[in-house]
Amino acid sequence: MPESHKPSPMDKTLEQLDQLLEGDVLTDTLSRMLYATDASPYQQRPVAIVRPCHAQDCASLIKFAAANTLPLIPRAAGTSLAGQCVGEGVIVDINHYMNRVIAVDVKNRCATVEPGVVCNDLNNELRELGLMFAPDPSTSNYCTLGGMMGNNAWGIHSQHYGTTRDNIIKAKVVLGDGSTALFEPLSHATLQQKLRLNNREGIIYRTLYDMINRHHSLIQQGFPAPDGLLRNTGYPLDALVHSQPWQATGPLFNLSPFICGSEGTLALTTEIELKLVPIPQQRILLCIHFHRLDEALQSVAQVLAFQPVALEIIDHHILKRTATNVQQQANRFWLEGNPAAVLLVEFHENAIAGAKIPKDAIAALSKQLAAYALTVVESEQIEQVWALRKAGLGMLMGEPGDMKGVTGIEDAAVKVTDLAAYVGAVQQLLLTHDTDCVVYGPAGRGTLHLRPKLNLNLATERQKYRQILDQVCDIIIRFGGSISSKHGDGRLRAFYLQRVLGTEIVTLLQTVKNAFDPQHILNPNTVLNALPPDQNLRFTRKHNTLNFKPFFDWSKDSG
Ligand SMILES: Cc1cc2nc3c(=O)[nH]c(=O)nc-3n(C[C@H](O)[C@H](O)[C@H](O)COP(=O)(O)OP(=O)(O)OC[C@H]3O[C@@H](n4cnc5c(N)ncnc54)[C@H](O)[C@@H]3O)c2cc1C
C-alpha cells in the first residue's frame, strides 16, 4: 500500500479498493515505474496496479472505478506498440492470475481460456491433439490471448487463417458499469430478446442495432476496405453490417468479434472461446531473393496468385542485423548473396482442400519474377526462417545507439499493387527529413512495417517524428489505405481517426463507446478522445546519468 506517511484522498480510495478485491493492489514506486511503459514510445506513471483474481474481482473493480471516476487501463503482456497500455489511472494486469486454459473441445475444435493465457503456451498444450490457435503474432511466445483480442492481433499465417477476430467464438466480459455479459453468436430470436433487456447489455444491443439500421450506407462507405485491406482503426461497425440480419448469408450477429481490436476501451474480457484448426502436415517455404526492393514489392501480387498461406518481405537492414546476432546467425542458412529484399512464401498441403503443394509454382515463380535466387526450405527448418523474421523488430528496437527505427507508421496497409509506389512515396518524404526506413512485414496483406530512423531523444527529431506521422497519414489517405492494419490506434493513430474516417463515423464510434462505457472509465484517450501523438513520449523525460563503473561492458552497444 502507499509508501507516503500522509495518506492522500487517492491513497484512501486505493485502500478501499484493496479491501474489496481478492487480487492485489500495488502502489509502490517500483511497480508503478515498471508499468509506466509498454513496447510503445509512451510513458505515464499509473496511480496503482490491480491484479484481479477472477471475473468477480473484475466486476467489483469496474463498479468501484465507475463510482470513484478512476480510469482503468487493461493490460496483459504489455507488448502493444501504439501506447494503449499506458496511462495515469489504474493498470489492470489481467494476466498475473487469470491465465488458465479452462477447457479444450477436440471434437468441436474450440478452447475456452482466461485472457492471460500466453498464445504459445496454449499451442504447446494443443500440439499433442494436432490442433492450434492459428493467429501467430511475432510476440506469440509472451503475448496473451486477451491482449491479442484487445488488439485484434495477427501474424505471418493470417494470410490464410485470418486475424484474432476471425478466430473468436464467444467472450465473457465486464462492461463499463461493472455488469457482465456473454457475447456470442445470436439467432434472430435471441437477438430480439437481447434488444429488450433492461440493462447495459440491452442498451448496447439497441444502440448498435439502431445505428446500423439508420446509418447502413454511411458505415459501408466510411469504412472502405479495398481488396480486403485490414484495418484496426476505430470499432469494426462495418463487420456488423456484413452480419445477419443485414446480410442474410452473413454470420450470426455476435459482439465478441466486434470488441476484438477495441483495445480495452469497451469492456474487460474475462473468458474467451476460440476456434482451433488442425496443425498443417505438409509445409514448404520459398525464399525469393531480389537485388532491388521495388522488384520484390512489385512481385507480391504475382506470388499471391499461387494462394500462399504466408507472404512476408524482409529487407537488407534486417538481414544485416541478423548477421551480427549470435542467436540468428544459425537461421541464415538459406540466404544466397546479399539481397536487397527477400520474399518468404509458405504453402500448406491442407490449406486448400485436396490441393497439393504447388511444386510447379516454384518453377513458374523462378521464371516469372525478377528474382536472382530462390531457396526451398522444408520441415523443421521452416521455423528457423520464421524465427529470423519474427526477431526482426526486437533486433531493431535493440539497435546500438540512439538512432532507432521508430514505431508510428509501421503497420499501415495499402493495396498490394500499390506497395512499391507507397514505399517510394514514403522514402521520398523521409529523404526530405534526412532519414530513411526499414521495410519488412506481411506484404501479402498489403501491410509493411516501415520504421523511420530517428533519435527521439532530440527535440528536433521529435518535431520531425510528428511531421512524418502527419505527412504519412496524408500519403496513406491518398492511396486509399489503412493507417493501422495490425497494431491498433492506441495514442499514436487515434489522433488521426477524424482525418481518416471523417466526423460522421467518429461520432458513431463515440456513441458506441458511450453505450459500452458511459463514464469513459475504460482506457480513456485510447482509440477516441486522443491526445496529440507526440504527447507523453518517454524520450522527453530528463534522464540522470549515474557516474559509476558497471560490471558489464556495453560500450560497443553504446550502453
Ligand atoms: C517486437 C514486437 C513484435 C510484434 N509483432 C506483432 C505481430 O506480428 N502482430 C501483431 O498483431 N502485433 C504485434 N505486436 C504487437 C503486440 O505484441 C500484439 O498486439 C499482442 O497481441 C498484444 O498482446 P499483449 O498480451 O501484450 O497485450 P497488451 O499489449 O497488454 O494489451 C493489448 C490491448 O488489449 C487490451 N487488453 C488486454 N487485456 C484485456 C482484457 N482482458 N480485456 C480487454 N482488453 C484487454 C489492452 O488495454 C490493450 O489495449 C508486436 C509487438 C512487439 C513489441
Residue 264 Cβ inside 6 Å of ligand 1? The answer reads yes
Please state which CATH number belongs to domain 280-396.
3.30.70.2190
- Inform me whether the pLDDT recorded for 517 exceeds 70: yes
**Per-residue model confidence (pLDDT) at position 350:** 52
Pick the closest to residue 272 from 111, 154, 121, 144 (CA basis).
111
Q: How confident is the model at residue 555 (pLDDT cuts 50, 70, 90)?
A: confident
> pLDDT averaged over the chain?
92
pLDDT(348) > 80: yes
Atom of ligand 1 minimally distant from the CA of 154: 11
Position 458 pLDDT exceeds 80: yes
pLDDT at residue 5, rounded to an integer = 67
Calpha distance 441→393 (Å, rounded): 10
Ligand 1 close to Cβ of residue 451 (< 6 A): no
Q: How far is the CA of 117 from the centre of ligand 1 (A)?
A: 13
Q: Is-contact 101 551, C-beta < 8 A?
A: no
Distance 23 CA to ligand 1 centre (A): 23
Q: Is 137 in the pocket of ligand 1 (CB under 6 A)?
A: yes
pLDDT at 378 over 60: yes
**Can you read off the three cell numbers belonging to residue 373?**
535466387
Domain boundaries, the chain: 9-93, 101-278, 280-396, 401-487
Query: For the residues 48-68, what does the mean pLDDT come to?
Result: 97
Q: Which atom of ligand 1 is nearest to the CA of 156?
A: 8
Nearest CA to 204 out of 185, 168, 233, 179 is that of 179
Question: 133 in ligand 1 pocket by Cβ < 6 Å?
Answer: no
Same fold, 9-93 and 101-278: no
Q: Is the pLDDT of residue 448 over 60?
A: yes
Average pLDDT over residues 526-548: 83
Cα separation, 557 vs 126, in Å, equals 40
Ligand 1 neighbourhood includes 501 CB (under 6 angstroms): no
9-93: CATH topology: 3.30.43
Q: pLDDT tens digits, residue range 183-208?
A: 999 999 999 999 999 999 999 999 99
Distances (CA, A) of 523 to 65, 267, 314, 530: 12, 10, 34, 11
CATH entry, 101-278, from 3.40.47.10, 3.90.330.10, 3.30.465.10, 3.40.50.10860: 3.30.465.10
Distance 78 CA to ligand 1 centre (A): 6
Burial classification of residue 457, based on how many CB atoms lie within 10 Å of its CB (0-12 exposed, 13-18 middle, 19 or more buried)? middle
Task: Please state whether beta strands 90-93 and 48-51 pair in parallel, antiparallel, or not at all (unpaired).
Answer: parallel
Note the pLDDT of residue 399. 78
Which residue minimizes the CA distance to atom 31 of ligand 1?
A: 147
> What pLDDT is attached to residue 26?
97
Whether CATH 3.30.70.2740 fits 401-487: yes
Please say whether the beta carbons of 476 and 485 come within 8 A. Answer: no
For ligand 1, mutation pick of 53, 72, 80, 230 (most atoms within 8 Å of CB)? 80
- pLDDT: is 27 or 358 the higher one? 27
Residue 332 has pLDDT above 80, yes or no: yes
pLDDT beyond 80 at 356: no
Residue range 103-136, pLDDT digits in tens: 999 999 999 999 999 999 999 999 999 999 999 9
Q: What element of type H or E holds 497?
A: helix 497-501
- Ligand 1 centroid to 328 CA: how many Å? 24
The length of the chain, given as a count of residues: 559
Sheet architecture: strand order including 168-174 = 101-105, 110-113, 268-275, 168-174, 180-183
8 Å CB contact between 306 and 351: no
Residue 553 neighbours by CB distance under 10 Å = 9
Question: How confident is the model over 134-154, as a mean pLDDT?
Answer: 96
Q: Whose CA is nearest to atom 50 of ligand 1?
A: 139
Task: Using the structure block, give the residue that is written with the C-alpha cell 503456451.
Answer: 121
**Percent of the chain surpassing pLDDT 70:** 94
C-alpha span between 91 and 68 (Å, rounded): 15
Query: What is the distance, to the nearest Å, from the Cα of residue 353 to the centroid of all Cα atoms in its chain?
Result: 30
Pocket test of ligand 1: the residue of 94, 138, 231 to mutate, having most ligand atoms within 8 Å of its CB, is 138
Pick the range with the lowest mean pLDDT from 200-209, 346-355, 449-458: 346-355
CB 422 within 8 A of CB 414: yes
Residue 152: CB within 6 Å of ligand 1?
no
Banded model confidence at residue 550, pLDDT cuts 50, 70, 90: confident
CB of 537 within 6 A of ligand 1: the answer is no
Q: Using a 6 Å cutoff on CB, does residue 348 contact ligand 1?
A: no
49, 36 Cβ separation under 8 angstroms: no
Q: Which pLDDT does position 355 carry in this prediction?
A: 47
